[in-house]
Amino acid sequence: MNVTIIVPSLDPDEKLMQVVEGLLAEGFTDIVLVNDGSHDDHLAPFREAAEHPEVTVLTHEVNKGKGRAMKTAFAWCIQNRPDIDGVVTVDGDNQHRPADVRKCAEAMLADPDKIWLGVRDFSLEHVPLRSRFGNTVTRTVVRLACGSRITDTQTGLRAIAAKHLPLMCVIEGERYEYETQMLLDLRGEGVGIGEVVIDTVYIDENQTSHFNTLRDSWKIYRIILRHMLRPRTRRGKR
């Protein structure tokens, strides 16, 4: 499996190394961490991870946002991993099971024409109310905006074939809104979306998330509205 795992991270705690160790145990041999401007007292996990030869750490000197961190890694892979089959993005809070990461990678290898999402079941009792409500609203609005029925619009577990990485680098968005903009743009670019059902894991009700409910939600809904109003154009063949 010639796949690079990408993990954007801001101010991580011990869970980041749990992610790295889980991915290594699952057999992944190329992991790219993006330190998105973390404070000095949160750098130890990056240093520890970098001791593994399978791990590369890319660094933003200041916080630029999850979307920019992902695009930094995508561009790095285009330049430094030209022969990979694709990448899988994974959150650094240990809420994505390594086995589910593999399932998404395998789906991408079987059908590289699609972007594959690891989707959660928001009907489960342990899902935090804000997560359940937020996904329901965003899922509905995305369906109205682009006609795509997506189970989990906010999932950070995404498998992307290498041929789609140049497109990923030019999609607008610097922070959490980038992940929504990606879904909005794919249909217009002729790229399908596939789903892989994964375990629904929330640790401490997702309290360590850096998602700002008001600020980031506003950015997400603003780009959805803009998408609904703009003329439909394609960037051309890649």
Q: What is the pLDDT of residues 1-44, one digit of tens each?
A: 899 999 999 999 999 999 999 999 999 999 999 999 999 999 99
Local structure of 101: helix, strand or coil: helix
235 located within any domain:
no
Instruction: Report in angstroms the alpha-carbon separations of 192 from 115, 185, 207.
Output: 6, 10, 32
Distance CA 17, CA 92 (A): 9
* Residue 213 main-chain phi, psi, to 5 deg: -55, -45
56 located within any domain:
yes
Q: Which residue has the tokens 């993990």?
A: 7
Instruction: Detail the DSSP E strand segments found in the chain.
Output: 3-9, 31-36, 55-60, 86-89, 114-119, 158-161, 192-197
Q: What is the pLDDT of residue 81?
A: 98
Query: Does this model's pTM top 0.85?
Result: no
210 located within any domain:
yes
87 located within any domain:
yes
Q: What is the pLDDT of residue 236?
A: 47
Q: What is the pLDDT of residue 89?
A: 98
Q: What is the pLDDT of residue 176?
A: 86
Distance CA 183, CA 234 (A): 14
* Residue 58 main-chain phi, psi, to 5 deg: -100, 145
238 located within any domain:
no
Q: What is the pLDDT of residue 160?
A: 98
Instruction: Name the residue type at position 128.
Output: P
Instruction: Name the residue type at position 142.
Output: V
CA end-to-end span of the chain: 24
Local structure of 51: helix, strand or coil: coil
Do the Cβ atoms of 4 and 77 come closer than 8 Å? yes
Strand order in the sheet with 114-119: 55-60, 31-36, 3-9, 86-89, 158-161, 114-119, 192-197
Which residues form the domain of 213?
A: 3-229
Q: What is the pLDDT of residue 32?
A: 98
Do the Cβ atoms of 168 and 160 come closer than 8 Å? yes
237 located within any domain:
no
Q: What is the pLDDT of residue 110?
A: 98
In the chain, how many domains are there? 1
Where the chain has pLDDT below 50, the residues are 205-206, 208, 236-238
pLDDT above 70 coverage of the chain, percent = 74
Q: What is the pLDDT of residue 149?
A: 79
234 located within any domain:
no
What CATH number did the domain enclosing 94 receive? 3.90.550.10
54 located within any domain:
yes
What burial letters (b/e) apply to 217-226, b meaning 16+ CB within 10 Å? bebbeebbee
